[in-house]
Amino acid sequence: MRSSSAPAGSDTRSRAATGRQAITAERVIDAAVRLTVEHGLEGWTLRRLAAELGAYPAVVYHHVGDRDAVVCAVLDRVVGGLRVPDPGLPWQEWFVELLSELRVVLRRHPGTARWMVLFGPSVQAATELLDRGVRMLLDAGFGEESTLAYHLLAATACQFVTMEDDRDGSLAERLDNTEEYAAYRDRSDLPGMAAHGRTMHRLLTEPGLLDAYFTHLYDYAVRRCLDGLTTRLADIRG
């Protein structure tokens, strides 16, 4: 049996001899995206990716690179799948539409939001989206603050999706204190805790409300960021 360090060329020849499909960079990335959808970005190793392809880790490394390189390729694929909204929209609604779709896409690929907020996609993958987004802000009148405003919105969106991803794990179930907070709903001596407790109680008792909570929280965060930027724009315009 050959070791995993066998030359990639020898694997290509052996696959051809047995009629198996050749390994390409595209096939490696396709498999990595599938594993990310099924298990999350942190839920697979380079060895597992190679096994998914019926190849050796050295072959994956030969075509794409180490695991970080594969992760970057996955991020690029995810960003490349985003639809750029109609530039004729008002800038606020343009970002509402973009970031709503971003959440759906990132949630479909668990773990990608954390990498996005830390590193972002490659320049090539981000060019069209970044160019259009910053241009929307330039046209709105943000001037030199356009890039900061763009990154504020993108980072806020990715951070909230990261929170959702993290709460899907078993640790979140063990640390769930919703019922404990709900117990404070009638505490007149702690009105702030009581208000929070009533919200937690509704999440526990109203069907479907808990499932929609994080969608509502995400939309709230995006729109309040846009409200703040709208106020800032008025200041810039003097």
**Per-residue model confidence (pLDDT) at position 2:** 36
Looking at the structure of the chain, the number of domains it has is 2
DSSP per-residue codes, the chain: ---TTS-HHHHHHHHHHTTPPPP-HHHHHHHHHHHHHHH-TTS--HHHHHHHHTS-HHHHHHHT-SHHHHHHHHHHHHHHTPPPPPTTS-HHHHHHHHHHHHHHHHHHSTTHHHHHHHT---HHHHHHHHHHHHHHHHHHT-GGGHHHHHHHHHHHHHHHHHHHHHHTSHHHHHT--HHHHHTTTT-TT-HHHHHHHHHHHHHHHSTTHHHHHHHHHHHHHHHHHHHHHHHHHHHHH-
CA count, 13 A, side-chain hemisphere, 80: 12
Domain limits for position 168: 83-176+207-237
- Give the sign of the dihedral formed by CA 189, CA 172, CA 103, CA 71: positive
Rounded-to-integer distance, Cα 222 and Cα 205, Å: 27
Q: Residue 220 belongs to a domain with what CATH number? A: 1.10.357
Kindly state whether residues 140 and 58 are assigned to the same domain: no
Which domain-ending residue is among 28, 61, 77?
Answer: 77
Q: φ and ψ at 221, to 5 degrees?
A: -65, -45
Kindly state whether residues 170 and 61 are assigned to the same domain: no
Which domain-ending residue is among 77, 107, 125?
Answer: 77
Kindly state whether residues 141 and 227 are assigned to the same domain: yes
Kindly state whether residues 27 and 140 are assigned to the same domain: no
Kindly state whether residues 15 and 50 are assigned to the same domain: yes
**Per-residue model confidence (pLDDT) at position 169:** 72
**In a structure prediction context, what are the per-residue pLDDT tens digits for the chain, which is 238 residues long?**
333 444 455 455 554 445 457 999 999 999 999 999 999 999 999 999 999 999 999 999 999 999 999 999 999 999 999 999 999 999 999 999 999 999 999 999 999 999 999 998 999 999 999 999 999 999 999 999 999 999 999 999 999 999 999 988 766 666 678 889 999 999 999 999 999 999 999 988 887 887 788 999 999 999 999 999 999 999 999 8
Classify residue 138: in a domain, yes or no: yes
Kindly state whether residues 55 and 159 are assigned to the same domain: no
Determine the angle formed by the axes of helices 46-53 and 25-39, rounding to 10 degrees: 110
Within 10 angstroms of residue 199's Cβ, the number of other Cβ atoms is 14
Which domain-ending residue is among 49, 77, 105?
Answer: 77
